[in-house]
C-alpha cells in the first residue's frame, strides 16, 4: 500500500517505437526517488510494409492499455539515422533568438536535407555555460512518429536524441551495444553527447565484433572517448558470443542490467522515461 504522506509525481511515458518491437515504461518520482511503475514490450507483427505505421500503433495501443498509470503524455526518440547532434557554442551576449537563427544557418553546413525537412532544436547542456546541444532531425520522420503515438492514444511532448536517452539508462559503462534487432547499434558515450554507429543488418558476430573494435579504436584516436566498459543488450547467447570475441582486447564487457532485470527489452524506453528527471537511482515497483 502506498503511504498517503508520500506524494507521487507521474512522468511522461517513455515510448520506444521500433519497426520490430515497441516498449513502454511508466515512472514516478516518490519522495525524491525515481520509481518504475510499469514496463511492457511487444514484438511488432510482420505484415504489409504499406501499413507498418498502423501495425506499430496497434501494437503500442495494446501495451499502453495495460500500463498501470493513467499518464498518456510521452517522450519518443528520433532514430539515429535521422538526427544529427553537435555542440553549439554561444558567443557571450548572444540572445536566444539570435542563437536559434545562427543554429539554423549552421545546420545548412551539417546536413544536406532540404530546409523543409529539417527540424532544428537548441537545448541547454547542464553545467556547461556558453554551450548548447544543437539537434537536427528529419521533419517527416518526427511527424510520422508523433502520428503513431497519437493513433495509440498518446501525446508526444518531447523528442529525445537516442544517445542522450541511452546515457541516462546506462550509467556504469562507456558505451552500449543494442543487438536485439535486425541492425545492431553502438553508442559511445562522450561529453556532452554520444556518438552513434549503425551496423548493417544481420551481421555475424565475428564481423560485428570487428566493426565494434574499429569504432572504439577510432573514438580513442579522435580523442572522443577511451572506452573501457561496454554494456551489451541482447540475448544471453549473443552476449556470451560477443563477450568472448571482445574480452581479449581488454574491454570489460557486461550485460545491460536495470534494477534486477538483465537485458530488459524496455531499456531504451526507460532512458526516454527519465527525460525530465535529474540523476536518481532506479527503484522497481
Q: Are 23 and 39 in contact (CB under 8 A)?
A: yes
Q: Which stretches within the chain are classed as H helix? A: 52-64, 96-110, 139-151, 162-169, 205-221, 236-246, 267-273
Residues 66-73 have a mean pLDDT of 93
3-state secondary structure of 253: strand
Cell, residue 31: 519522495
pLDDT at 30: 82
Residue 120 to residue 267: CA distance in whole angstroms: 27
CB 45 within 8 A of CB 139: no
Cβ–Cβ under 8 Å, residues 249 and 213: yes
260 belongs to a structural domain: no
212, exposed or middle or buried, with CB in 10 Å at 0-12, 13-18, 19+? buried
17 inside domain: yes
CB 263 within 8 A of CB 269: no
For residues 18 and 71, membership in a common domain is answered with yes
Q: Are residues 248 and 179 in the same domain?
A: yes
The predicted-structure confidence for 190-234, as pLDDT tens digits, reads as follows 887 899 999 999 999 999 999 999 999 999 999 999 999 999 999
Q: Per-residue confidence at 279, pLDDT binned at 50, 70, 90?
A: very low
26 & 160 share domain: yes
What is the average pLDDT value for the chain, to the nearest integer? 90
Residue found under cell 536518481? 280
Residue span of the structural domain in which 216 resides: 171-255
CA 258, CA 173: separation in Å to the nearest integer? 13
- Pull the grid cell for residue 214: 574499429
Q: Are residues 136 and 225 in the same domain?
A: no
The helix (run of H) or strand (run of E) holding residue 132 is: strand 131-138
Q: Are residues 104 and 122 in the same domain?
A: yes
**How many domains would you assign to the chain?**
3
- For residue 199 the three cell numbers come to 551496423
Q: What is the pTM of this model?
A: 0.90
Q: Which cell goes with 107? A: 545546420
| Pairing of the two strands 33-43 and 73-78 | unpaired
Asked if the model's pLDDT at residue 285 lies above 60, the reply is: no
- Does 1 fall in a domain? no
Contact 178, 235 (CB under 8 A): no
Averaged pLDDT, 73-101: 92
Q: Note the pLDDT of residue 32.
A: 76
Amino acid at each position: 500500500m502506498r503511504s498517503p504522506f508520500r506524494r507521487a509525481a507521474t512522468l511522461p511515458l517513455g515510448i520506444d517505437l521500433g519497426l520490430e518491437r515497441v516498449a513502454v515504461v511508466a515512472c514516478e518520482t516518490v519522495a525524491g526517488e525515481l520509481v518504475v511503475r510499469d514496463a511492457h514490450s511487444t514484438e511488432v507483427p510482420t505484415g504489409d510494409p504499406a501499413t507498418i505505421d498502423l501495425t506499430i500503433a496497434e501494437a503500442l495501443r495494446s501495451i499502453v492499455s495495460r500500463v498501470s498509470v493513467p499518464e498518456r503524455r510521452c517522450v519518443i526518440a528520433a532514430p539515429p539515422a535521422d538526427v544529427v547532434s553537435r555542440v553549439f557554442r554561444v558567443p557571450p551576449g548572444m540572445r536566444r533568438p539570435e542563437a536559434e537563427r545562427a543554429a539554423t544557418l549552421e545546420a545548412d553546413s551539417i546536413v544536406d536535407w532540404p530546409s523543409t525537412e529539417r527540424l532544428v532544436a537548441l537545448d541547454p547542456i547542464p553545467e556547461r555555460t556558453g554551450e548548447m546541444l544543437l539537434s537536427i532531425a528529419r521533419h517527416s520522420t518526427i511527424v510520422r512518429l508523433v502520428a503513431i503515438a497519437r493513433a495509440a492514444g498518446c501525446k508526444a511532448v518531447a523528442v529525445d536524441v537516442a544517445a542522450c536517452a541511452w546515457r541516462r539508462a546506462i550509467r556504469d559503462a562507456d558505451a552500449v551495444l543494442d543487438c536485439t534487432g535486425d541492425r545492431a547499434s553502438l553508442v559511445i558515450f562522450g561529453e556532452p553527447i554520444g556518438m552513434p554507429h549503425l551496423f548493417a543488418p544481420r551481421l555475424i558476430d565475428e564481423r560485428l565484433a570487428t566493426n565494434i573494435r574499429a569504432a572504439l579504436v577510432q573514438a580513442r584516436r579522435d580523442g572522443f572517448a577511451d572506452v573501457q566498459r561496454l554494456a551489451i543488450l541482447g540475448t544471453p547467447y549473443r552476449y556470451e558470443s560477443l563477450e568472448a570475441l571482445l574480452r581479449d582486447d581488454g574491454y570489460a564487457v557486461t550485460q545491460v542490467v536495470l534494477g534486477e532485470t538483465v537485458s530488459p527489452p524496455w531499456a531504451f524506453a526507460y532512458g526516454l522515461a527519465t527525460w525530465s528527471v535529474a540523476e536518481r537511482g532506479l527503484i522497481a515497483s
